[in-house]
């Protein structure tokens, strides 16, 4: 009886872990899709359709901007 309870507990744990992983994967995919959409819009508006910048360079520029925003004091003007 104890073994059966342990097996059921382990199966519940595995199922929970798989659900968490699936949720994290879905969140990662949503972030990647958002990132791709932003890059396409940026490329089309800033480079007149000429792909001068790679997605990696755009990500680096975006990350630098986000870090600068995070480092700015809360009441500072833009």
In angstroms, how far is CA 26 from the centroid of its own chain? Answer: 10
Q: Is 77 inside a domain boundary?
A: no
Q: Is 50 inside a domain boundary?
A: yes
Which pLDDT belongs to residue 15?
Answer: 92
Whole-prediction pTM value?
0.50
Please count the CA atoms within 13 angstroms of the CA of 32 that sit on its side-chain side.
Answer: 6
Q: Is 78 inside a domain boundary?
A: no
Q: Which domain holds residue 46?
A: 2-71
Q: Is 56 inside a domain boundary?
A: yes
> In this predicted model, what pLDDT tens digit does every residue of 9-68 receive, in sequence order?
999 999 999 999 999 999 989 988 888 888 777 777 765 655 566 777 778 878 888 888
Q: Which of 64, 63, 42 is closest to 53 using CA atoms? A: 42
The total of structural domains in the chain comes to 1
């Amino acid at each position: 009886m104890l073994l059966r309870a342990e097996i059921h507990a382990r199966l519940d744990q595995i199922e929970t872990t798989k659900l968490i992983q699936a949720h994290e994967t879905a969140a990662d995919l949503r972030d990647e899709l958002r990132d791709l959409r932003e890059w396409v819009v940026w490329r089309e508006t800033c480079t007149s359709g000429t792909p001068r910048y790679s997605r990696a360079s755009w990500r680096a520029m975006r990350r630098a901007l986000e870090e600068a925003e995070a480092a700015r004091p809360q009441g500072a003007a833009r």
